[in-house]
């Protein structure tokens, strides 16, 4: 969100090049790569942006060339088959295996960039900079290329060394997939694995803090929350969640500055504001912060912050804090109607 158009495109091309590299050799797999794990590039032209641009623009052109080449080959093989047939015999033409492979390669070359482009952050800005789920469809296109490429290599360079290398590559792909699948055991395992794989992802750090805090370890939540805030100091959610962690540790006075910063960064996010105000109410801190809350009401007229802060100051006793329809789900004990 902090990048201008050219920077966003350069960063997106870098992400695309890295994603293709992971398809070929999945050394590190993570469910999410968010800000600032993929920081705004400090220049527009660098090796990964150039490589990403080439790999995004050229494959569709190459796909057309490969397709036209396959049509020409088909036409020539049909003519050769017809001319070689004796008079009176039934004329048939069976496409060669190489021809079928050429068509698959053409489809794969077009498939990968077309399937990935909508998720690339080039046409529109997405909240997640990079995520493995964006590669599910492009990976199918990559498989269409990998199969014919392996067949071609084995036919042209049939050697024990090549066969061993291909077996090792397949084994590594299978092992990486199975090992990464274990990261999806539950939500805490997932975000812990993501945090360890991409420690500079503020989203991973914050989500891990929430999951570990939900299991009662508020001190660990506090530590991870601080890491998230250090990575994204202008992220309203990180500020509010840090205040909420301190509030739940029965230290609302320490959490108040974080609440204020988060509320002011996102005055129209009712979920974040209600989360903080309800905990402050439960800790009997609203009365002590009444003047400051009313100051924020006057500074943000017409906002959710103004409405919820004003309501809890003057009607908190009637509703037991934030009105139930505006409270976070955890306070309601179930999904909202």
Sign of the torsion formed by the C-alpha atoms of 232, 233, 238 and 242: positive
CATH architecture of 187-332: Alpha Horseshoe (1.25)
The C-alpha atoms of residue 10 and residue 239 are separated, in whole angstroms, by 30
pLDDT at 38: 81
Q: State both tokens at 157.
A: 């360079």
For residue 246, the number of C-alpha atoms closer than 13 Å in the C-beta half-sphere is 17
pLDDT at 117: 93
pLDDT in tens, the chain (337 residues): 566 788 889 989 999 999 999 999 999 888 888 878 888 888 999 999 999 999 999 999 999 988 888 788 777 777 776 665 555 544 444 444 465 678 888 999 999 999 999 988 888 887 777 888 889 999 999 999 998 889 888 888 878 999 999 999 999 999 999 999 999 999 999 999 999 999 999 999 999 999 999 999 999 999 999 999 999 999 999 999 999 999 999 999 999 999 999 999 999 999 999 999 999 999 999 999 999 999 999 999 999 999 999 999 999 999 999 999 998 766 444 444 4
**What is the enclosing helix (H) or strand (E) of 83?**
helix 47-83
CA nearest to 218, candidates 228, 207, 210, 229? 210
The residues of the chain that CATH labels 1.25.40.10 are 187-332
The C-alpha atoms of residue 202 and residue 180 are separated, in whole angstroms, by 21
**CA dist list (Å): 43 to 40, 48, 80:** 9, 11, 55
Q: Quick one: CA torsion of 114, 121, 35, 190, rounded to 10 degrees?
A: -40
For residue 275, the number of C-alpha atoms closer than 13 Å in the C-beta half-sphere is 27
Q: Work out the burial of residue 152: count CB atoms within 10 Å of its CB; fewer than 13 is exposed, 13-18 middle, 19 or more buried.
A: middle
CA nearest to 275, candidates 228, 309, 240? 240
Q: State both tokens at 29.
A: 């797999």
pTM summary value: 0.80
Alpha helices in 182-235, H assignment, sequence order: 187-197, 202-214, 218-231
Contact of 221 with 245, CB cutoff 8 Å:
yes
pLDDT at 291: 95
pLDDT at 330: 60
The C-alpha atoms of residue 337 and residue 325 are separated, in whole angstroms, by 9
The C-alpha atoms of residue 156 and residue 37 are separated, in whole angstroms, by 41
pLDDT at 126: 77
pLDDT at 275: 95
CB-CB neighbours of 297 under 10 Å:
18
Alpha helices in 117-186, H assignment, sequence order: 136-156, 160-181
CA nearest to 119, candidates 131, 109, 111, 108? 131
CA nearest to 308, candidates 282, 333, 272? 272
The DSSP bridge partners found for residue 130 are: 33
């Amino acid at each position: 969100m902090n990048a201008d158009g050219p920077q966003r495109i350069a960063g997106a091309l870098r992400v695309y090049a890295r994603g293709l590299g992971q398809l070929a050799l999945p050394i590190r797999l993570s469910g999410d790569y968010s800000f600032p794990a993929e920081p705004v590039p400090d220049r527009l032209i660098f090796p990964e942006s150039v490589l990403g641009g080439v790999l995004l623009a050229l494959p569709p052109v190459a796909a057309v060339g490969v397709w036209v080449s396959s049509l020409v080959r088909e036409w020539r093989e049909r003519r050769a088959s017809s001319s070689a047939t004796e008079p009176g015999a039934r004329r048939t033409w069976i496409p060669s295996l190489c021809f079928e492979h050429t068509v698959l390669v053409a489809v794969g070359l077009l498939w990968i960039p077309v399937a990935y482009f909508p998720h690339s952050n080039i046409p529109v800005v997405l909240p997640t900079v990079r995520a493995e789920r964006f590669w599910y469809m492009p990976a199918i296109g990559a498989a269409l290329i990998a199969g014919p490429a392996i067949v071609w290599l084995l036919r042209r360079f049939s050697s024990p060394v090549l066969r061993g290398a291909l077996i090792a590559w397949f084994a590594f792909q299978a092992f990486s997939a199975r090992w990464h699948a274990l990261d999806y055991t539950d939500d805490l395992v997932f975000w812990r694995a993501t945090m360890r794989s991409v420690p500079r992802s503020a989203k991973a750090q914050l989500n891990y803090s929430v999951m570990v805090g939900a299991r009662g370890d508020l001190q660990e939540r506090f530590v991870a929350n601080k890491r998230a805030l250090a990575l994204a100091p202008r992220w309203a959610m990180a500020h509010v969640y840090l205040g909420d962690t301190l509030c739940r540790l029965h230290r609302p006075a320490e959490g108040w500055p974080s609440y204020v910063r988060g509320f002011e960064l996102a005055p129209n996010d009712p979920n974040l504001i209600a989360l903080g105000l309800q905990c402050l109410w439960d800790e009997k801190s609203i009365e002590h912060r009444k003047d400051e809350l009313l100051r924020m009401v006057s500074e943000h007229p017409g906002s959710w912050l103004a409405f919820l802060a004003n309501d809890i100051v003057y009607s908190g006793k009637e509703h037991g804090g934030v009105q139930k329809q505006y409270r976070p789900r955890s306070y309601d004990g179930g999904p909202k109607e």
